[in-house]
Structures are given as structure tokens and as C-alpha cells.
Amino acid sequence: MATTEPIRDKKLVQALAKYWLDRGNVRNHGLIVVGVCTALRISDVLSLRWEDVYNFELDAFRSHLTIIEGKTAKVQVIALSRSAVAALGHMPRERHQYIFSGARDGSTPLSRVQAWRIIKAAAAAVGAPGAISCHSLRKTFGYFAWKSGVLPVMLMDLYNHSSYDITRRYLGISQDERDGVYLGLTIF
């Protein structure tokens, strides 16, 4: 069985989300964007309700999302990025409904299997290489954060990992990237 990989090409990540937007499916588009931008596990993304991200009294998106992670039961406070808010902004909002609903009335969340199908269909359509799944969204966040200079210890904290080794595997560092360090460093 192949290990789930991050998507290492920014244009491919954008194409993955755009695939659904081009087909008029703002829910699936939002699922991919929010999954990458929040670095949450898919079970936590699917459990989000509109009241978690939107203040209905002020008619505005919240600046932060506060969630108790399903797997770890730890509280996470996540700043909502412009990209996440923009993707959510395309969608109709109802206070108590699930954001990524599997029912027309918003009363039940999308299933993990259906989320997997959504991501796999987009990945196949845009030619994303490797083992891409729901967890790839979470890993993609870490990969691009690391590539932009975020320290691994910060990623370890964001992911609530207990060891650096786990975080290192999440980053999906390839031999080519390792070679790049050796070959790109000019000392002499």
C-alpha cells in the first residue's frame, strides 16, 4: 500500500481545487481549499458547521476557527486565510448546517468515503502523480509551509505531533530535495 503524499506542485494544488469550481461545484472546491488551508484531518474538516467559521450576528467570517480535534481531543485555534474565506464565500450559509454536507438540508456531514472520491476524481482529472487522498490535503499544507521557511518545530506544533520524526515524514521530503540542499549550497 502506498503512503499518502503531499501535492508538491503549487499549480497542481490550484488545479485540483479549480477542477470543481470550473464544474460549478463550490462545495467540493471549498472542501479542497479548506482542507489544505487549515491542515485539519478530513474528519475534522467534515465536522465543521457554518457557525464555526461565520458570525451570523455580524454577517462576517470569523478571523479564527476554534475546534476540538476528533483524534487528539486537543483544542486548535486556526486563523482563516483569505483563500479559505474566499472559497467559503462562494457557498450558501445556514447557521446550524454542516459546511460540507452530504444532505441537501445540511443535516449530515459528507462521508469520508465521498470526500475521498471527490479528491481522487480531481487528482485523476488534473494528472496529480502519486498516492493522493484526503490526508494529502493536510500534508500539502505542511510541505508548502516548510518550503516557504516555516520551521519544522512550528509545523510539529500546528499538527499536534508528538515527535519531529512524524512531522518529517509528513513533509514528504524527496531525494531530489535532499540533493538540492547538497548541490545548492555554495560555500567555496
Whether the model clears a pTM of 0.85, i.e. scores above it, the answer is: yes
* 93 flagged as catalytic: no
pLDDT at residue 2 in the model: 57
pLDDT at residue 27 in the model: 96
* 90 flagged as catalytic: no
Q: What is the DSSP letter of 160?
A: T
pLDDT at residue 43 in the model: 96
- Catalytic one of 54, 98, 159, 170: 170
- The answer to whether residue 1 scores a pLDDT higher than 50 is no
- Catalytic one of 8, 29, 138, 139: 138
- Catalytic one of 8, 29, 135, 139: 135
Our CA dihedral for 86, 92, 93, 97, rounded to 10 degrees, sits at: -120
Secondary structure (3-state) at 26: helix
pLDDT at residue 188 in the model: 76
User: Residue 4 to residues 111, 115, 178: CA-CA distances in angstroms?
Assistant: 19, 15, 20
Q: Where are the domains of the chain?
A: 10-184
* 169 flagged as catalytic: no
Number of C-beta neighbours around residue 148 at 10 A = 7
How far is Cα 148 from Cα 70, in angstroms, rounded to an integer?
A: 28
Per-residue pLDDT of 37-54, as tens digits, reads: 999 999 999 999 999 999
Mean per-residue pLDDT for 90-101? 94
What residues contact residue 182 under an 8 Å CB cut-off, 6+ apart?
none
- Catalytic one of 8, 41, 54, 159: 41
Task: Return the CATH fold of 10-184.
Answer: hpI Integrase; Chain A (1.10.443)
Query: What are the two backbone dihedrals, phi and then psi, of residue 168, each rounded to the nearest 5 degrees?
Result: -60, -45
Amino acid in the structure at residue 167: T
* 164 flagged as catalytic: no
Cell numbers for 142, please give them: 505542511
* 98 flagged as catalytic: no
* 71 flagged as catalytic: yes
How far is Cα 107 from Cα 100, in angstroms, rounded to an integer?
A: 10
pLDDT at residue 183 in the model: 79
- Catalytic one of 8, 29, 139, 161: 161
Mean per-residue pLDDT for 58-74? 94
